[in-house]
């Protein structure tokens, strides 16, 4: 049951609130009674610049900050721009949490990433094993930049009593995702690739790697629900996974998406490209125990909704 009074009279700032995940978080907040929601737009506030963060906090005067804004993408973007992924995510996060503490913000919700986990983590990934190895190399700069928010949250809680929490969402997917092939994650990339191959009558589609890695995916509306529940109910120092607990290989994922878009050609795996992390599957028990979150949307149902959304909006996306 939602704590419907939690948001009454609270000023909430959602960085990245105009983006993929953030827009769903804003909608969830509205549904749960939040009326003063501030969404800083990049054209007005460049959150990589500390002075812009200061101006944003002065304009918003938030009681709660939910920090979702990030520079993120798939293997291609991580290989091409590791320095940007490290610097921009560090600079959007660490000065923001510091200034939020200085300004007396009541609660700070920091979003991490599954990329923070060690490359060869035991599966399912447990939060207590987050530091037992280096992340997968292709996304380590991004993963470590986000992971520093956990270090900061725990340090500021210890020294200042600052109520900062840290959530670790697994790979997200759903309507409004990024379908740009240069920077998209695997699900939107595959959806676009198969839809276009079907339309063009291509006899085969080339895919990266060998298809053996496994991934877990969380539907974006489920992720938004988890974030809002954590903001309402969780006030601890330990990191918390947000996931579905469902694991699928990239090969099976590609075959499923090709079937759902009715592409009948051949799938060809190019092993010259990297696979990324071998396995990703989260232990999702802590989120349920601490704030009652459990993913609700079944994977194939979520994929169908995502494909339907893309087919309805693709002309405006491709412009």
Active site residue 142: yes
Question: Active-site residue among 87, 117, 134, 142?
Answer: 142
**Could you tell me the end-to-end alpha-carbon distance of the chain, in angstroms, rounded to an integer?**
42
Which candidate, 247, 242, 260, places its Cα nearest to that of 303? Answer: 260
In DSSP notation, 55-85 reads: HHHHHH--SEEEE-------HHHHHH-HHHH
Residues facing 249 on adjacent strands: 214
- Give 3-state DSSP helix, strand, coil % of the chain, rounded to 5: 45, 15, 40
Strands 247-249 and 214-219: antiparallel
Structure tokens given for 92: 């959007």
Structure tokens given for 45: 């506030």
Which candidate, 306, 266, 106, 99, places its Cα nearest to that of 186? Answer: 306
Please identify every residue annotated as catalytic: 142
């Amino acid at each position: 049951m939602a704590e419907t009074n939690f948001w009454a009279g609270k000023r909430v700032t959602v960085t990245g609130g105009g983006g993929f995940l953030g827009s769903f978080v804003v909608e969830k907040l509205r549904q749960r009674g939040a009326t003063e929601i501030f969404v800083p737009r990049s054209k007005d506030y460049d959150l990589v610049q500390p002075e812009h963060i200061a101006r944003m906090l002065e304009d918003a005067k938030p009681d709660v900050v939910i920090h979702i804004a990030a520079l993120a993408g798939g293997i291609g973007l991580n290989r091409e721009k590791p320095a940007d992924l490290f610097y921009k995510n560090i600079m959007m996060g660490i000065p923001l949490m510091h200034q939020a503490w200085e300004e007396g913000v009541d609660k700070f919700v920091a979003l991490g990433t599954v990329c923070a986990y060690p490359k060869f983590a035991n599966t399912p990934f447990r939060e207590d094993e987050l530091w037992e190895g280096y992340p997968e190399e292709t996304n380590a700069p991004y993963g470590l930049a986000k992971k520093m928010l956990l270090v900061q949250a725990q340090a500021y809680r210890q020294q200042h009593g600052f109520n900062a929490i840290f959530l670790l969402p697994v790979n997200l997917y759903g309507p409004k995702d990024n379908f740009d092939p240069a920077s998209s994650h695997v699900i939107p990339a595959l959806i676009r690739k198969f839809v276009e191959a079907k339309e063009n009558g291509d006899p085969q589609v080339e895919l990266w790697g060998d298809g053996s890695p496994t991934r877990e995916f969380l539907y974006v509306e489920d992720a938004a629900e988890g974030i809002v529940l954590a903001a309402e109910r969780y006030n601890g120092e330990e990191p918390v996974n947000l996931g579905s607990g469902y694991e699928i290989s990239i090969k099976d994922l590609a075959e499923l998406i090709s079937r759902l878009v009715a592409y009948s050609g051949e799938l060809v795996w190019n092993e010259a490209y990297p696979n990324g992390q071998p396995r990703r599957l989260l232990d999702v028990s802590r989120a349920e125990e601490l704030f009652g979150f459990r993913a609700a949307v079944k994977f194939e149902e979520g994929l169908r909704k995502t494909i339907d959304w893309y087919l309805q909006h693709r002309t405006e996306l491709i412009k």
